[in-house]
Amino acid sequence: MTPVHATFGEVAAERRIASVPLSHVSVELGHLYMEDYEAGPDRLREQFRRVAPWLATVRSLWQERVPGGRARVSTCFLVDDYFSRFSTPAELVPMVLEAAAEHDLSIDYLARESACAQFEDAQSGGVELARLVEDRLVDDPPPETDGSRPPVKETGWLCNGSRSPRTAPMQAMGKTRPWEPPAQNAKRGHSIFVDVELWDEKGPRRTWSCPFLAAVWQLLRLGLLRSDGQVPLPPVALDGGWPRDWDGLPAVVRLNPQAAPFSAYTTLSVLSPRFLPVELAVRTILSQVAVDDEVLRQVATRSESEGVRLEEELVDRISYVFV
Amino acid sequence: MLVMGEVHTGLLQNSGEISESTCRQVLGLMAGETVRVSRRPIVHALSPERLTGVDCALPTASRSRVRGVGTVVSRCAVTGGRVAQGSSYVRVVRSDADRRLPWSHYLARPGVVEVLGKAKAADLAEGFTGDSAPGRPDGACLDLGAVSGRFLDLVQQSTLLDRRAPFKIPRTSLRWVAETGEPSIRFTLHAEQERTLRLTHPGPFTTAVVDLCEDLATHDWLLTSLLVIVERARIGGTPGAQAVARLAPAIDHLMHLWMPAARVEEWLTPFWESLERRPGFTRQWRSLVDRVRDQVAMNTLALLNATADAGRR
């Protein structure tokens, strides 16, 4: 009898990672905070007026880059319902869409900022994206970090180097330790030291910082997050009208049925320069997020198969226009 | 260039074996990531992998200074609800740059440590698995043992465990180096609880090699522990009933766990088989198990005889 080759498999022993449809670029047309809302619809119109030429530019750049000119570009808009709750979807969303339409902009997807912290509904159950990303942080090690000790952490903070040693006077010795500078790990000559607050806690309630949620938002748009192997918060089309309560709104709403996929190989955000410090913080966080190996491979394989060479480091897949 | 790793193995700090669902909770080290569990031929649960950043000297036999920057991959495992492991490894490759790059560069290559400047694979391999423990008197040197130790602690300190282990047995550590080349394997017992493994395998490195090293570490720990228990029983030097009582933990907690190469991919099983020929792990295990069973049988016979004698009187 010839030897029989047996194969045995166990589902629970395997890792299955779902894949996500991807556009070439996801363009964020705006990010609405309460202060913008309070400033009235003119502030919004002004934002869209500034954004419109950049969207056209990025579209034509990708059309040149992609064989056959079939660039997949999707647009999105983020509403802050985390740090402050204002207005209602029923009142706000039509106003936003109208202001965009005045500049020939179509918003494909609308997302809620609070969903980047956590989201729960009957369909997808609960998912805490912020916790998920926090567990994926791998601290940038200062030189001489050999693994013998756990990484030095200031709870709730993340930096890009070594902090200044404490300079409290040592009373017993009667001497004051002179100030020593912090140092950036990957400095070029001189340091640009960044220390970012990720969250704070008042009692049992944790409030995630704006840069941390923005980092989660970028990862979601890059299609690099998975929860138990599944793609979290897939866009949902809205049946019926806009709800009167933000909690009645899906995390990501698909507004345009013909839209290219929500997630993309790269992202572009068109922002006011006042967001520059926030985005520096976002990049500090993102350069310390370890995305799942398998997910990285999936995206790389897909982009190569359609002749698009992606930047290896995920912070290089994110670009901005500050206007 | 090469892959180096270290596995720490110990008895789970719990009075009995833990269930599959407890395993899942104990090993759930990361939100949104599942614990992988296989049930045949023995329950084996594996945590999601986590990374630790390092930037330090690598161990070298020549004591030359070699700087490595990158991430260590670590994971924990529980076998048979009874044996816990913390395991870490790095793939060492030459860097294209001669300086440290932004951290995002290293996170795009999880589990890789890039060597800045010149280094020879043989020097690193010898430095890591050589007789003197890795470490340099003149500064910090990559300490995979500390990382693995911390991951094992993470399991052992779980609040789901009752911390009442049925017997005390030391942890063992297995430091391993894997390279591509003509197949060969060298397993060395060092002082106390330290072991090293040098492995040369055909084809490129895959995580199946890590599975093999962890499987060998599990079985080496089982064998070491059974030897310790048999030694502590002082068979022949103590009354039979006392010796058997001291052997009981082995029967209750260890003897059913021997499943060599159960989780090893087929292309790597010849490595296990060659270790089975020399030194013959399973041979020694069987002989110890037979010895334990013989003691129990003898003691049972003695008890039966004593009862029969008492009945006759």
Dump the DSSP string for A166-213.
P---BTTTTB-PPP---EETT-BSB----EEE-EEEETTEEEE-HHHH
Give the CA distances from residue A67 to residues A72, A316, B18, B285, in Å, rounded to whole numbers and listed in that order. Answer: 12, 22, 56, 63
> Quick check: B100 contacting A, CB < 8 Å?
yes
* Among B38, B42, B107, the residue to mutate for chain A (most A Cβ within 10 A): B107
Q: Specify the pLDDT at position B195.
A: 95
Q: B63: pLDDT confidence band, cut at 50, 70 and 90?
A: confident
Tell me the one-letter amino acid at A113. Answer: E
User: Low-confidence residues of chain A, pLDDT below 70?
Assistant: 1, 124, 167-175
- Distance from chain centroid for Cα B279: 18
What gap in Å lies between CA B30 and CA A206, rounded to an integer?
Answer: 19
Q: Specify the pLDDT at position A170.
A: 55
Query: Cα distance from B173 to chain A (closest Cα, Å)?
Result: 15
Q: B219: pLDDT confidence band, cut at 50, 70 and 90?
A: very high
Query: Cα distance from A316 to chain B (closest Cα, Å)?
Result: 9
Instruction: Report ipTM for this prediction.
Output: 0.90
Query: Cα distance from A56 to chain B (closest Cα, Å)?
Result: 30
Does residue A146 contact residue B56 with C-beta atoms inside 8 Å?
A: yes
Tell which B residues from 191 to 230 touch A, by Cβ distance under 8 Å. none
pLDDT tens sequence across B17-39: 999 999 999 999 999 999 999 99
What gap in Å lies between CA A187 and CA B206, rounded to an integer?
Answer: 34
Say whether pLDDT at B205 is over 60.
yes
Query: Cα distance from A151 to chain B (closest Cα, Å)?
Result: 8
Say whether pLDDT at B157 is over 60.
yes
Average pLDDT value for residue range B147-156: 97
Q: What's the mean per-residue pLDDT of chain B?
A: 93
Say whether pLDDT at B258 is over 60.
yes
Q: Specify the pLDDT at position A15.
A: 85
Beta strands at B50-57 and B44-46: parallel, antiparallel or unpaired: unpaired
DSSP-assigned states of every residue in B212-231: HHHHHHHHHHHHHHHHHHHH
Q: Specify the pLDDT at position A174.
A: 60
What gap in Å lies between CA A104 and CA A51, rounded to an integer?
Answer: 11
* Of the candidate ranges A242-256, B133-147, B209-223, B295-309, the one whose mean pLDDT is the lowest: B133-147
* Among A136, A146, A152, A219, the residue to mutate for chain B (most B Cβ within 10 A): A146
Q: Specify the pLDDT at position A281.
A: 97
Among chain A residues, CA nearest to B45: A13
Does residue B214 contact residue B7 with C-beta atoms inside 8 Å?
A: yes
pLDDT tens sequence across B265-306: 999 999 999 999 989 999 999 999 999 999 999 999 998 998
Tell me the one-letter amino acid at A1. Answer: M
Tell me the one-letter amino acid at B241. Answer: A
Cβ-nearest to A313 among B30, B54, B105? B105
User: Per-domain residue ranges for chain A?
Assistant: 14-136+210-272+290-322
Q: Specify the pLDDT at position B230.
A: 95
- Beta-bridge partners for A157: A197
Cβ-nearest to B104 among A10, A135, A315? A315
pLDDT higher for B6 or A35?
B6
What gap in Å lies between CA B145 and CA B153, rounded to an integer?
Answer: 12
